[in-house]
Structure 1
Amino acid sequence: MAPPRMRPRFDLQLPVERERWLGALKSQLKDAPGSLRGQVFKKHAVVLMRDTERTFWSPYLNLEVEDEPDGSAIRGRFSPHPNVWTMFMGVYILLAIVGLGGLSYGIVQLTLGYSPWAFWIIPASIALFGFVYGATLIGQGLGAEQMYVMRSLIDRTCVDALDAPLGVAVADSE
């Protein structure tokens, strides 16, 4: 079994135009009743859980759709909601600053001949860093079913875009 990845991603190559695929995604998001909502732009789309279904660990799917000579390339990345991602990054930065502060203060204590108790802050920061990292992996595991629902939507969108008549966008894209 592969280890869990931070912010899992996927790449798809399709023999359909970008506008056609984004139109199919817009149609899927509009017509399919369920727990998903999203926004579709010219070369970008986001898919997330409806507010009633969203939890702290719910995933956020960011899609980049680019034109290719033989169709389009879709690059998807699952991540936490941007607010949650920012909070985790803030905690990581705070722990790094606290660890560096402990190192600096410990060096000062050592230089002045005091007992360098501040060096204990470093392993405590590393342990908390590991705890936060583990919490992100647990959250990813708790959101795995919702990630599957989002990926299923993308797969259905690919089928719809491939089945649409040539030269016809599935829905108007903005």
Structure 2
Amino acid sequence: MNIFQFQPAFTVDIPLEQPQAIARLKAAAASDELRGVAEAAGAVIDFKIAPAERRFWSPHLSAQCSASEEGTQIFARFSPRPEIWTMFIAIYFVVAILICLALTIGYVQWSLGYAPWSLAAVPIGLLVIVGLHVASLVGQQLSADQMAVLRSRFDRAVEIAFDGLTVTDRSTASTDEAAG
């Protein structure tokens, strides 16, 4: 696993035009087998862990279809559930603002001849950011089994939608690498 890779991804090429590929994938997502664990909207299909099996670190797999020279390219990315991802980004943002504020106050204190005590918040903020990064990597490790489930659901949707067609998997990070 790449230690700096927050959201492992892979691509799949489909030899059909984008509207046809999307229609087939939407039909596969609506099939009895995938209903409830796959949702389609526009050119995006999301694969989710069933609510009964969901944990705090449970990922989801978002697959976006776009036109390519060969037909359609599906770009799929594992990531935390949107509400968890939003929480992490909000914490990063707040910590970054507090670091900037501490630097500004520290500069003012230093320029006025006072002890720049507010600069002590900078390494604390950096430790919080590193802690968040480590927590995300631990979450990936804890959810490796669910990432494999999501990848198998994606593969099954592709199989249902494009049975008989040659599909090219051009993974940038396989599930094994993502799982560690």
Same fold (TM over 0.5): yes
Q: Give the C-alpha shift of residue 121 in structure 1.
A: 0.8
Compute the RMSD of aligned alpha carbons. 2.4
TM alignment of 1:35-74, pairs within 5 A: 37-74=37-74
* 1:11 counterpart SS class: strand
Instruction: Say if 2:142 is the partner of 1:142.
Output: yes
Shift of 1:31: 2.5
Identity %: 32
- SS of the aligned residue for 2:5 comes to coil
String of CA shifts for 1:11-35, please: whole Å, max 9, x gaps.
111224543565356436633279x
Conserved? CA contact 1:39–1:47, under 8 Å: yes
Q: Find the structure with the greater CA-based Rg.
A: 1
* Letter matched to residue 32 of structure 1: E
- Give structure 1 stretches of 5+ with no counterpart: 166-174
Query: 3-state DSSP class of the match of 1:131?
Result: helix
Distance 2:157 2:31 in 1: 12
- Which residue matches 2:92? 92
TM-score after normalising by structure 2:
0.79
- 1:117-143 per-residue CA deviation (whole Å, 9 max, x = no partner) reads 111111111111101111111111111
Change (3 A) 1:96 1:28: closer
| Aligned residue number for residue 171 of structure 1 | none
For 2:57, give the aligned amino acid. Answer: W
In structure 2, distance between residues paired with 1:107 and 1:144 = 45
Taking structure 1 as reference, are residues 132 and 31 closer, same or farther at Cα in structure 2, changes over 3 Å only?
A: same
> How far apart, in 2, do the equivalents of 1:126 and 1:17 lie?
47
- The whole-number CA distance in structure 1 between the counterparts of 2:23 and 2:58 is 23
Task: Provide structure 2 residue ranges, at least 5 long, that are not aligned to the other structure.
Answer: 166-180
1:80 to 2:80 alignment = yes
Q: Are the counterparts in 2 of residues 17 and 71 from structure 1 also a CA contact under 8 Å?
A: yes
Residue 109 (structure 1) shift: 1.3
Aligned length: 164
Query: What does residue range 108-119 of structure 1 map to in structure 2 within 5 Å?
Result: 108-119=108-119
Deviates more, 1:24-33 or 1:104-113: 24-33
Aligned AA for 1:30?
Answer: S
